[in-house]
Amino acid sequence: MASIRRTLSPYQDRSHHNGGVNSPSHKHNSTTRFAEKHIPPRKGYRTWRRSCMLFFLLGFLLGLLAPFVEFEDVRRSRDFSFEVPTLEDIVVDKSVKEERFDYVARKQLIVVTPTYNRPLQAFYLNRLAQVLRLVPPPLVWIVVEMNSASTETADILRGMGIMYRHLVCTNNLTDIKDRGVHQRNTALDHIQHHKLDGIVYFADDDNVYSLQLFETIRQISRFGTWPVAMLAQSKNKATLEGPVCNGSQVIGWHTNEKSKRLRRFHVDMSGFAFNSTILWDPKRWKKPTSALIRQLDTIKEGFQETTFIEQLVEDESQMEATPLGCSKIMNWHLHLEAHELGFPKGWLLQKNLDAVLPIK
């Protein structure tokens, strides 16, 4: 009862002050004039004043006692009063509470994808995006195009529900051997400039990736590598390229093509990931120089990966075999480009709809 009175009383008091008999500030307003016309006879007026005082004192005392009244009392009284929130209502929603305790601090993933308009681009980007959107956040997808941001790419990215950055490589070079290299370097400039903190992974748009790959690379500390399944140039057999592992140690390399035997590290572009802080905080990794770490377009094909990795680590002892024992194939690098197809100019919706219209 005490609490009910306490809750209601401010409302009553307010109306009293706004137009009450004893309010000096409202002597001349219409409500006061109405009250004056109905002043009771003097004796009755005193009795009425006494009862007012009595009720006021009673209310005051109950108000003082209210804080010591058990919450249970309020709950019991809810049947004959207004809706009083129960303890269950007041406590934060249980699911929200559980989620908060379930919070896991995850390393950010920085996925870098060079891309360009071609027949299967929409198919490639959609396929990659469907995997990326299943990866638990935080993940940022840096998609880089040459010269200008195409509407085709922008349209695909916009509807994906993935945090992304659509960048443009403006290296206006005439003699570019490998466009992908320059586009990846634009992403590296961006990561370094904004000091993005996370695990950097170069994911070409046309490769096939498992969800497990993105879960696994979160565990990388400095530099992680794993074997990638590839289609041999003849396209009639699949081979492995990447580390031979003993637990988390890299003890050798799977290599296929004779022309690439001279590489220091036999890793595919999609077969390694590294901590972004190496780019902008080399001292933390005890790197002897703070020279820019970038991909090189000057070396012969097939050597981009090794020359880049040589800037990140000194030798195999600084590498982490991922996952333990390199026991799983987590992505596939296939060369299935459809060269003979033209880029679709639009949809033949009208024509297709005609085909299913009933014949009159």
Phi, psi dihedral angles at 145 (to 5 degrees): -120, 165
In three-state secondary structure terms, 219 is coil
Closest CB to ligand UGA among 74 and 143? 143
305 carries an active-site annotation: yes
In angstroms and rounded to an integer, the radius of gyration of the C-alpha atoms of the chain is 36
* Residue 241 interacts with Mn ion (CB under 5 A): yes or no: no
* Residue 205 interacts with ligand UGA (CB under 6 A): yes or no: yes
Closest CB to ligand UGA among 180 and 242? 180
* Out of 3, 32, 183, 225, the residue judged to bind ligand UGA by CB under 6 A: 183
Quickly count: other Cβ atoms within 10 Å of residue 264's Cβ.
Answer: 14
Q: How far apart are CA 14 and CA 248, in angstroms?
A: 74
Restricting to residues 41-100, name those near ligand UGA by CB under 6 A.
Answer: none
Which listed range, 12-20, 77-85, 126-134, 178-186, lies at the site for ligand UGA (CB under 6 A)? 178-186
Question: What residue is closest to Mn ion based on CB?
Answer: 206
How many residues bind ligand UGA, per CB under 6 A? 17
Task: Mention every residue, 6+ apart, whose C-beta is less than 8 A from residue 127.
Answer: 208
Residues forming beta bridges with residue 199, ordered by sequence position: 109, 275
Nearest Cα to Cα of residue 31 among 15, 47, 42: 15
Minimum CB distance to ligand UGA, residue 348 (Å): 26
* Out of 26, 59, 106, 116, the residue judged to bind ligand UGA by CB under 6 A: 116
* Residue 114 interacts with ligand UGA (CB under 6 A): yes or no: yes
In three-state secondary structure terms, 3 is helix
Indicate which residue of 36, 305, 316, 320 is catalytic: 305
Restricting to residues 101-160, name those near Mn ion by CB under 5 A.
Answer: none
Question: What does the block give as tokens for 244?
Answer: 């031979």
* Out of 206, 268, 305, 320, the residue judged to bind Mn ion by CB under 5 A: 206
* Out of 250, 269, 279, 330, the residue judged to bind ligand UGA by CB under 6 A: 269
* Out of 142, 153, 179, 245, the residue judged to bind ligand UGA by CB under 6 A: 179
* Residue 241 interacts with ligand UGA (CB under 6 A): yes or no: no
DSSP 11-40: HHHHHHHHH-TT-GGGTTSHHHHHHHHTPP
Cα-Cα end-to-end distance for the chain: 78
Q: Which residues in 75-88 are b (16+ Cβ under 10 Å) and which e?
A: eeeeeeeeeeeeee
Restricting to residues 295-314, name those near ligand UGA by CB under 6 A.
Answer: 304-305
In three-state secondary structure terms, 304 is helix
- Residue 267 and residue 305 in contact, taking contact as beta carbons nearer than 8 Å: yes
Q: Which does 270 bind (CB under 5 to 8 A by kind): ligand UGA, Mn ion, none?
A: none
- Residue 108 and residue 140 in contact, taking contact as beta carbons nearer than 8 Å: yes
DSSP 56-86: HHHHHHHHHHGGGS-HHHHHHGGGGSS-PPP
Closest CB to ligand UGA among 111 and 220? 111
Closest CB to Mn ion among 277 and 304? 304
Closest CB to ligand UGA among 197 and 297? 297
- Residue 325 and residue 104 in contact, taking contact as beta carbons nearer than 8 Å: no
* Out of 2, 4, 180, 245, the residue judged to bind ligand UGA by CB under 6 A: 180
* Residue 178 interacts with ligand UGA (CB under 6 A): yes or no: yes
Q: Which residues are catalytic?
A: 305
User: Where do contacts with Mn ion occur on this chain (CB under 5 A)?
Assistant: 204, 206
Name the site residues for ligand UGA (rule: CB under 6 A): 113-116, 146, 178-181, 183, 204-206, 269, 304-305, 335
